């Protein structure tokens, strides 16, 4: 079978090769055979990815092949896959979708739709959220040129989805800044995120940052308060996304900071980024 997959295949063979993609013995070869013809069998790949009767193993291996497909159909399929019940599928779909979105193939999705996808992702139970780990799948990683050299997380996935409609690079820097033991830098990252995220999204996200720093606790409390719909708003039928207040921590006093512009915040985060990356590498080396 490996010899057959090593030869060039036509689009008529794609459905049969997709069936092999979920197998451990020939999954890598099946992916390698599908990638060159992905542009002419994007629809078949899309159907397989969106078919939840297929195994999670097979579904999570399709995004890295779809990146070679017809880009707008691939982007639409990956966007729909962000609602897949399997975290691994959502994570890998989001990773490829971010690349296609950066090339302009997701321009029909609104900011509100992306925020709604993030809200859905953040509804996870905190215990389940912290236990999320990406399944090591060398087949899925191989065809996308990725090396899973760090531990992906639900937080990384959420920031990547936010990057579909918000500046992706500053978000990536802010995410990494939140992972280092530097209260000032974390505070700057929080300040930046507060300036770009809706209050209800912040109220869902902040408690998952898993920090007892006063700046984080204060941000949790203020975001939760801001996210509670006013009674008059609820009465007139306007849409709201209330977040359970019980998840917010009691905030210790925090020394006020002088207001800073977006440019100042981005400059500070960008300037500190090389040091942030170095600290994260050191931490992973000790893990």
> Are both 13 and 103 inside the same structural domain?
yes
The reply to whether 15 and 145 lie within a common domain is yes
Alpha carbons 225 and 233: distance in angstroms, whole number: 15
Tell me if 103 sits within 8 A of 71, measured CB to CB.
yes
Q: Are residues 130 and 210 in the same domain?
A: no
Q: What is the pTM of this model?
A: 0.77
CA dist., res. 61 & res. 138, Å (int)? 9
Residue whose C-alpha is closest to residue 57's, from 134, 130, 128, 1: 134
Q: What is the domain extent for residue 155?
A: 2-162
The one-character DSSP state at 22 is: T
Distance, CA of 108 to CA of 160 (rounded, Å): 18
Query: How many structural domains does the chain have?
Result: 2
Same structural domain for residues 173 and 152?
no
204 and 142 fall within a common domain: no
pLDDT in the model for residue 143 = 54
172 and 240 in a single domain? The answer is yes
**Residue reference for tokens 């400059």:** 267
The sign of the dihedral angle between the CA atoms of 205, 209, 211, 215 is negative
- Considering the domain architecture, whether residues 156 and 214 belong to the same structural domain is answered as no
Q: Do 137 and 226 belong together in one domain?
A: no
Same domain, 218 and 130: no
End-to-end Cα separation, the chain, in angstroms: 40
Can you give the pLDDT at residue 149? 40
Domain boundary among 106, 130, 162: 162
Is residue 132 located within the same domain as residue 6? yes
Domain boundary (130, 162, 194) is at: 162
C-alpha torsion 130→23→92→177, nearest 10: 50
- 53 burial (CB, 10 Å; 0-12 / 13-18 / 19+) is exposed
Same domain, 202 and 274: yes
In the prediction, which pLDDT does 270 show?
A: 66
Give per-residue pLDDT as tens, 218-277: 554 554 455 444 443 443 444 455 444 334 443 334 444 556 666 666 666 666 656 655
Query: Digits of tens for pLDDT over the chain (287 positions)?
Result: 776 777 888 889 999 999 999 999 999 999 999 999 999 999 999 999 999 999 999 999 999 999 999 999 999 999 999 999 999 999 999 999 999 999 999 999 999 999 999 999 999 888 888 788 888 887 776 655 444 445 458 889 999 999 999 988 888 888 888 877 778 778 888 888 998 999 999 999 988 876 554 454 555 455 445 544 444 344 344 445 544 433 444 333 444 455 666 666 666 666 665 665 555 455 555 54
The confidence score (pLDDT) of residue 179 equals 76
Q: How far is CA 173 from the centre of its chain?
A: 14
Same-domain pairing of 21 and 56: yes
- d(Cα 97, Cα 82) in Å, to the nearest integer? 9
């Amino acid at each position: 079978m490996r010899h057959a997959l090593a030869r060039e295949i036509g689009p008529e063979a794609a459905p049969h090769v997709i069936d092999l993609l979920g197998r451990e013995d020939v999954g890598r070869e099946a992916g390698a055979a599908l990638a060159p013809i992905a542009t002419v069998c994007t629809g078949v790949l899309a159907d397989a990815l969106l078919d939840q009767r297929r195994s999670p193993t097979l579904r999570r291996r399709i995004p890295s092949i779809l990146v070679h497909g017809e880009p707008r159909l691939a982007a639409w399929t990956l966007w729909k896959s962000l609602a897949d019940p399997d975290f691994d599928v959502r994570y890998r779909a989001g990773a490829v979708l971010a690349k296609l979105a950066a090339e302009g193939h997701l321009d029909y999705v609104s900011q509100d739709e992306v925020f709604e996808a993030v809200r859905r992702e953040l509804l996870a139970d905190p215990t389940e959220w912290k236990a999320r780990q990406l399944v090591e799948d060398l087949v899925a990683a191989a065809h996308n040129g990725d090396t899973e050299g760090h531990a992906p997380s639900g937080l990384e996935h959420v920031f990547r989805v936010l990057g579909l409609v918000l500046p992706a690079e500053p978000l990536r820097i802010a995410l990494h800044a939140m992972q280092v033991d530097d209260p000032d830098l974390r505070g700057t990252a929080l300040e930046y995120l507060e300036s770009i995220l809706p209050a209800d999204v912040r109220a869902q996200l902040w408690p998952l940052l898993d920090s007892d720093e006063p700046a984080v606790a204060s941000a949790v409390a203020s975001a939760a308060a801001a996210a509670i719909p006013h009674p008059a708003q609820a009465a007139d039928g306007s849409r709201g996304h209330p977040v359970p207040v019980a998840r917010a921590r009691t905030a210790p006093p925090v020394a006020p900071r002088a207001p800073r512009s977006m440019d100042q915040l981005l400059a500070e985060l960008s300037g500190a980024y090389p040091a942030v990356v170095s600290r994260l590498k050191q931490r992973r080396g000790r893990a």
